[in-house]
Amino acid sequence: MSEIICTVDIVLLTLKEECLHVALLRREHEPFKGVLALPGGYIHAEEDADTHAAAVRTLQAKTGIASPYLEQLATFSGPGRDPRGWSISISYYALVPENLIGEAGHPHVELLPVERLKGLPFDHLQIVEAAVSRVRNKSSYSSLPVYLCGEAFTLPRLQAVYEAVLGEPVNKVSFRRKIDELGILEPIEGALETGKANRPAQLYRLRKEYRDRLSLTDRALNAR
């Protein structure tokens, strides 16, 4: 049995200027030294409880971020994807609000729009595409996009986030009904968003029990 290189890679997504962006880092070592790539690294069998723990550790070490939502995407593999040899990447995706990336204070994290990526090393472009596709599909029937909002947000803001992720406008009435069905939000008592042209809007937050798990519905938000 020849040795297989075992790594994890993380697709950290955020919303910037209403477009999905992915966090990339310049590689510190060969291969592809100095080239922008997904944060990733070897599994450490001596310390990681499983590949999820390896992904949490790697994301924290490389970006300073502890994402409340980190899910396994898929495993990519083969002899050609890494010049060092036959390799496996168990890939994960995470969604965070943009301010969390800035506050983590890792100055080398670069945010690139997912629609205009090209020429990533390894098969990282394919991994990002798979993550974006998964997030778009899953967003239409789940609370997933809420992780892109900050701690407090108005319903119009949340709708704009869903629309940005889905890449299409969403009917306001169906959106409100869907959010009700998901049962994930609670109003923040006495908190209104002011300072905009419109009348003050109620601020909401994610209910505690949904801070690290999704709520699902069985009908897509944008079902035809």
Binding site for a second copy (CB under 8 A): 1-4, 6, 42-46, 49-51, 72, 74-79, 85-86, 88, 90, 140, 218-220, 222-224
Q: How far is the CB of 162 from a second copy (least distance, A)?
A: 15
Q: How far is the CB of 84 from a second copy (least distance, A)?
A: 11
Handedness of CA 37, 167, 140, 191 (dihedral sign): positive
Residues 55 and 20 sit within 8 Å (Cβ to Cβ): no
Q: How far is the CB of 3 from a second copy (least distance, A)?
A: 6
| Residue 110 or 180 with smaller CB distance to a second copy | 180
| Residue 129 or 193 with smaller CB distance to a second copy | 129
Longest dimension (CA), the chain: 67
| Residue 36 or 128 with smaller CB distance to a second copy | 128
Residues 85 and 3 sit within 8 Å (Cβ to Cβ): yes
DSSP letter, residue 148: G
| Residue 32 or 86 with smaller CB distance to a second copy | 86
Residues 105 and 60 sit within 8 Å (Cβ to Cβ): no
Q: How far is the CB of 53 from a second copy (least distance, A)?
A: 8
For residue 36, give the H/E element and its range. strand 36-37
